[in-house]
Chains A and B, each alone.
Chain A
Amino acid sequence: MTTKVLAGLTVQVNEEGFLLNPAEWTREIAAEIARQEGLPELTDAHWKVIDFCRANASDTGKSPTLRAITNGTGLTTKELFALFPKGPAKKVARIAGLGKPEGCV
């Protein structure tokens, strides 16, 4: 376990850069991680995904899979991959301050 300074706050992260404690997450932290992931600006559509993931994870205790995200937000697979190109699974979870998604679908 290591700590990292994101958006002026010190947070705990694992070796893959996922926040260990979702409670330490802020919207500013999300924006900063997004920039590091190559997304300069988070649009409303991005936030819709992030907010869904946060809510879903707080209900289920785990990070939603991509299929859970498309089913839950109404976005298509194409739209989700366009919003978070090159590997949305980890990217979304990292930005939303959650762990790696569990489950295969």
Chain B
Amino acid sequence: MNNGNNRHIAFICSKGNLDMAYPALVMGWAALGNGIDVTIFFTFWGMDMINKARVDHLEIPPVGNASMKMNMMGVPGYLGIPQFAGILPGMTPFATKLMNDKLKALGVPTVREYLQMLVDAGAKLYACKMSVDMFGLKQEDFVDGVLGIVTAGDFMDMTEGAQIIFI
């Protein structure tokens, strides 16, 4: 819903990988800081971001990610991680730890903390009805601040006049 003529941005979060959790959080926080209304709709894998059991365990797999080079680990140049190495057990936790450490060093909050900041600053969070049904989830599976489970049609009503960003 558009409160008066205030600018309103709606984010659709459809991914559950650690690197895809942050864009909406960072932009949403910037929007709220600038007095812009924010609504976030979580669908499919994006629901991991608000799932109490999953939010602290988001990961980034090195397989199939052409941009993940070894310079993140201090190896000079842009050497890739061989794809066969990416499938070895422990590579996903390793890449995840690397990214989490980098984020922490920059003072970036965790996904759980970031969501709480957004809620406290007035962002409205919703889960997608179809995804909730598909994954067998319930309202109580979500972190505090998720206002409800809504249909795609509800989302259209809520975001009338808003700018929409799909992630």
Contact of A89 among B26, B34, B117 (CB under 8 A): B34
Asked if A67 contacts B122 (CB within 8 A), the reply is no
Asked if A87 contacts B117 (CB within 8 A), the reply is no
Interface membership of chain B positions 36-48, coded 1 if the CB is closer than 8 angstroms to chain A and 0 otherwise: 1000000000000
Within 8 A of A (CB), among B133-166: none
Q: Does A21 belong to the interface (CB within 8 Å)? A: no
Q: Which residues of B contact A66 (CB under 8 A)?
A: 29, 33
A101 to B106, CA, bound (A): 16
Contact of B26 among A77, A87, A90, A105 (CB under 8 A): A105
Q: Does A76 belong to the interface (CB within 8 Å)? A: yes
B-contacting residues of A (Cβ < 8 Å)?
Answer: 66-67, 76-78, 81, 86-91, 101, 104-105
A105 to B107, CA, bound (A): 8
Q: Does B121 belong to the interface (CB within 8 Å)? A: yes
Asked if B30 contacts A67 (CB within 8 A), the reply is no
List, sorted by A's number, 22 A–B pairs whose CB atoms are closer than 8 Å. A67-B117, A76-B120, A77-B120, A78-B120, A81-B32, A81-B120, A86-B6, A86-B35, A87-B32, A87-B35, A89-B30, A89-B34, A90-B34, A90-B35, A91-B35, A101-B33, A104-B26, A104-B29, A105-B26, A105-B29, A105-B107, A105-B108
Knowing A67-B109, A105-B26, A105-B107 are in contact, say whether A88-B33 is a contact too (CB < 8 A): yes
Asked if A87 contacts B120 (CB within 8 A), the reply is no
Q: Interface extent on B, as a size class?
A: 10 to 19
Asked if A89 contacts B121 (CB within 8 A), the reply is no
Q: Which residues of B contact A78 (CB under 8 A)?
A: 120-121
Asked if A89 contacts B33 (CB within 8 A), the reply is yes
Tell me the smallest distance from the CB of B41 to a CB of chain A, in Å: 21
Interface membership of chain B positions 90-131, coded 1 if the CB is closer than 8 angstroms to chain A and 0 otherwise: 000000000000000001110000001100111000000000
Asked if A104 contacts B30 (CB within 8 A), the reply is yes
Tell me the smallest distance from the CB of B103 to a CB of chain A, in Å: 10
Tell me the smallest distance from the CB of B140 to a CB of chain A, in Å: 23
* CB-based nearest B residue for A78: B120
Asked if A77 contacts B121 (CB within 8 A), the reply is yes
* CB-based nearest B residue for A81: B121
A105 to B114, CA, bound (A): 9
* CB-based nearest A residue for B3: A86
A91 to B109, CA, bound (A): 23
Contact of A67 among B35, B107, B116 (CB under 8 A): B107
Asked if A77 contacts B35 (CB within 8 A), the reply is no
Q: Which residues of A contact B29 (CB under 8 A)?
A: 66, 104-105
A77 to B36, CA, bound (A): 16
